[in-house]
Amino acid sequence: MARVLAFDYGMKRIGIAVTDPLQIIASSLETVETKTIGAFLKNYLAKEEVEAFVVGYPVNYGHEQENEVLKHINHFILELNRLYPLIKTIKIDERFTSKMASQTMLMSGVNKKQRQHKATLDKISATIILQTFLEMK
């Protein structure tokens, strides 16, 4: 089997998580600057087989709220589909992932200074998005 990559898209950074090849475990992978996601994907896909992309998608109480971030996420999804047409792209509701990631860091004993590091929060959010996808399968 191939891996699944998940993205927590942000205007500055994208948190990335990945499954193991058997698609059982979701793990944080990396946080990259949004402007460098193309190069990251090119390098990663040259080394690893990926079956699907899972993108955190902000849904507001059952209906989409068109805002600036959502426009960028939609563009990101279109680019994924254009550049990698053989890899399916799946949208997963991401409304509470940042809050859950923050809570996870707090419960695991991460100190306040480390909790304020946004890149770590983005990776954990991507992992929660990916875990949600795996549980839905």
pLDDT tens for 43-56 read: 999 999 999 999 99
Cβ neighbors of 111 (< 8 A, separation 6 or more) are none
What is the reported pLDDT for 61?
47
Q: Kindly tell me if the per-residue pLDDT of 60 is higher than 70.
A: no
What is the reported pLDDT for 101?
47
What is the reported pLDDT for 66?
57
Token pair of 17, please? 């998580």
pLDDT tens for 112-128 read: 555 455 667 788 889 98
CA pair distance 12, 7, nearest whole angstrom: 13
Question: What amino acid occupies position 80?
Answer: L
Question: In the chain, where are the structural domains located?
Answer: 3-136
Q: Which CATH class is domain 3-136?
A: alpha beta
Residues in the chain, total: 137
CA pair distance 99, 70, nearest whole angstrom: 19
Q: Could you tell me the sign of the dihedral formed by the alpha carbons of 17, 77, 34, 116, in that order?
A: negative
Residue 63 DSSP one-character state: B
- Give the chain's mean pLDDT: 84
